[in-house]
Structure formats: structure tokens, C-alpha cells
Amino acid sequence: MLKNGANYSVQTGSEYEPIGEESRPLLASQGVQARGASFWSSAFNLMNAIMGSGILGLSYAMANTGIIGFSILLLVVSSLAAYSVHLLLLLCDKTGVNSYEALGERAFNRPGKIVVACTILIQNIGAMSTYLFILKSEMPAAVTGFMSTETSGKWFEDGVALLILVTLIVVLPLALLPKIGFLGYTSSLAFFFMLFFTVVVMVKKWSIPCPLPVNATVNLSAYAVPTMAFSFLCHTAVLPIYCELHRPTKQRMQNVANVSIFLSFVVYLISALFGYLTFYTHVDSELLKGYDTYLPRDVVVISVRLAILLAVLLTVPLIHFPARKAVLMLCRGDREFSWLSHVLSCFFILTFVLLLAIFVPDIRNVFGVVGSTTSTCLLFVYPGMFYLRISSEPVRSLSSAGAVLLMVIGLFVGVLSLCVIIVSWVQGP
């Protein structure tokens, strides 16, 4: 177990043994990073896991809930996300396990481990496929936007060709890295791309003489809360980042999570606010599309579109890490690190995800169902359920009440969003 703020543990067979600083060389030989990732490297990785293309839809959520309603909901969801991370770290500290799957095993034996691993795998494959689908759809327009003359029939206008190219050149080398801490540099770059997007949205608010009327009507959208919940999902990456953190204590990792969630909250709120104040209730579900009407071929808008695509691209390897870990745990159990298994699982996952992004015509709706179930389970339901199952706290304690609240909210949001998606399918566009 974690003790005295300096030790951490690994699982050996069915026992959980405390590991101190003197055992770092042994851990390094077993594939565990000796020095550990820095605080800010870990924070950037977690922020990259939190923020993705979902930032484009938050202005639309604000248009449906109002500024005050959106701000309150965003604060509540971010606070619940931080609290569920707190429960995961508390359980990790209490039991000595170092993975989400191992917590499932500790709570419900092997079936719990398999269910959690499958949930992580489905969630992350869905997220990666959606991100690659976005890249396939948006990259040709982003690239040709920089061309001064009209182009036709060029290879870079083919979204599939561009997608395969960037997957081989960017995603594959980063996904092959054995440790998630190595992605800290690319994660910091992705975060600054998000900051660039936020600054551009703020600036363009004052440069667009938007003729659209202000509509102060507040309409609570059933999509708003699920969108916010999915925008703060980072829990599959929390424990891998925790394991590789330098001086890995619960409080230090909680500080990493708090900083990451707070900075993500600020970026989300500012970008959503200024995007909404630019277009009001006429804001598009994908914010950048609105700028195409008023600022066609604007270099700054084209640049920020490309920056968002690059941020999404750099998020894929980070999401790939927990998915690969789940595959290896399902196939190999808790065996020692093997480069052969590592490489084969990496190629299998990326190939499968790439084929989904290329051949499934409307992947967003398909994985919307997956997201409404697996995302809410990982964000709300599992942390609360595992805490109630593992913790020795009385049922009427404050922590147990918080765990119950997480479960109730997760079930409500998941069922609601799934019903909304099904109804939208039935009603049509």
C-alpha cells in the first residue's frame, strides 16, 4: 500500500506488496519508470485526456441552457468528476492496486475485472474511432483552406489518404511508446492548441458584426449534461498516470487531477461563453462551422481549425494507452511486460480503429450509444459502486452518501442520453 508519502505498490500474483524507493531499480527492470513523470507532465497528460473535440459543442450546450444554467451545470459536473477521481485514488491507496481493472477485480472478483476492462476497451475504441472519423472528414478542408487557388483532384483532398498518412506518421510512433508519461510533451502541445482555440474565439467575438438577434429563451437540453459529462471523462488515464508519477502519493495525484480539471473547466467555460455570445441561439452544434459563414477563408479561423485537428490527433495515442492495457490484461493477465505483445496489441487496436473510421459511414451516432453507456459507467457508476463495495465506511457516512449520489447521477445521465439518441433516430433529422 501507499505509505509515508513515498511508497507505492505493485501487484504480485494475488498479493499486494508495498514498494519503497529502494525497490525502484527492480521496478525499472520490470518496465516501471524509475524516476517517474513530473507533476506538470502528468497534469498535461490528464488535461489532454479530458479535453478533445467536445470543446466544439459546448457553446451549443450553453445556447440550450443559458449562461447561468450552463455555468452551474459545468461546475457541478467538473466537481463530480474530481470527486470520482478522489474515490478512485482513495481506493487505490487503501487496497494497493494500481489499475481500474484491478479495482473491479477487488470489488467483484474476476467478473468485475473483465467487465471493467471491456468497458474501457469499448469506450476508448469508440472515442478513438470518433476522433479519427473527425480527422478524415475535416482534414481535407483544413489543408485546402491554406491554398491560394482552387484545387481539384489532389491527393490531399482525400480524407482517407490523409488519415492513413497521419496515423502512420504521428499516431503509431506515439502509441508504441511503452509509458504514458512519455506523452507529456505532446499533451502540453495539444493543450496549447486548445488555448489558441479559446483565444481566437474570444477575439473573433469582437471582429464579427453578427446580425443575428439575441434570443434569451432558456431551453434545458437533454444533451447538455451528457455532453459536459463526456467532456470531463479522464478516469481511464488517471491510474496509469498515477503509477508513473514521480513521488506517487494520493495527495500529489489528487493535486494533479484538481489542476487538470480546473484548467479544463476554465478553458471550457471561456470558449463556450464567447462562442455563444458570437452567435447566440444560432450557434452551430460544431462551433467552427458558424465562422465559415461570416469569415470564409479567414487565415486565423483556418489555423484554429487545423490546431483543433492536431489536438484531437495528439489525443488519440493517449486514449490508446488504456485500451491497449485493457487488451493485454484480458489476454495475458498480469504477466510481465513483453515487447511482442505490446507491439501486436498496438497494431491490432489501431488497425481496427482505422477500419471503423474509414468504412463506417456515420460513426458518431453508433458510438454515441457506446458513449452514453460506457462513459457514464467509468465516470460515475463504477467509482461509486467500487467504493461502496470495498470501503469499510458505514453506509450513512458522507463518503458513502457521495458514492451513492455518483451512482444515481450516472444511471440517470446514461439512461437519459441513451433515450434521447434513440428518439432522435426514430424521429429522423
What are the Cα distances from residue 11, in Å, to 35, 94, 97, 98? 19, 14, 6, 8
- Give the β-pairing of 15-19 and 8-12: antiparallel
pLDDT at residue 214 in the model: 44
**How buried is residue 206: exposed, middle or buried, by Cβ count under 10 Å (0-12/13-18/19+)?**
exposed
Cell of 271: 470558449
pLDDT at residue 407 in the model: 92
Cβ 212 vs Cβ 280: under 8 Å: yes
Q: Which helix (H) or strand (E) holds 11?
A: strand 8-12
Within a domain: residue 7? no
Give me the torsion for CA of 182, 187, 192, 194, rounded to 10°.
170
Cell of 368: 454515441
Indicate the pTM of the whole model.
0.78
pLDDT at residue 124 in the model: 87
Helix (H, G, I), strand (E, B) or coil at 340: helix
Within a domain: residue 294? yes
Q: How crowded is residue 386: how many other Cβ atoms within 10 Å of its Cβ?
A: 23
Within a domain: residue 261? yes
- Split into its structural domains, the chain has a count of 1
Within a domain: residue 18? no
The CATH number of whichever domain residue 223 belongs to comes to 1.20.1740.10
Within a domain: residue 23? no
What are the Cα distances from residue 383, in Å, to 161, 201, 338, 389, 400? 41, 35, 30, 10, 11
pLDDT at residue 260 in the model: 92
Within a domain: residue 177? yes
What are the Cα distances from residue 108, in Å, to 104, 257, 327, 390? 6, 26, 19, 9
pLDDT at residue 263 in the model: 92
* Residue 310 φ/ψ region, left for φ over 0, alpha for ψ in the -120 to 50 degree band, beta for the rest: alpha
Q: Could you list the pLDDT tens digit for every one of the 429 residues in the chain? A: 333 333 333 333 333 333 333 333 333 333 444 467 788 888 888 888 888 767 877 888 888 888 898 899 899 889 988 999 999 998 888 888 878 888 998 999 889 999 999 999 988 888 888 888 888 888 887 787 777 666 666 777 788 889 999 999 999 999 998 887 778 788 888 888 889 989 988 988 877 765 554 444 444 465 666 677 777 888 888 888 888 888 888 889 999 999 999 999 999 999 999 988 888 877 877 787 777 777 777 788 888 888 888 888 888 888 898 899 889 888 877 677 788 888 999 999 999 999 988 887 766 566 567 767 888 888 889 999 999 998 888 878 888 898 999 999 888 888 887 887 788 777 765
Residue 400's domain spans which residues? 36-427
Q: How many CA atoms lie within 13 A of 203 on its CB side?
A: 9
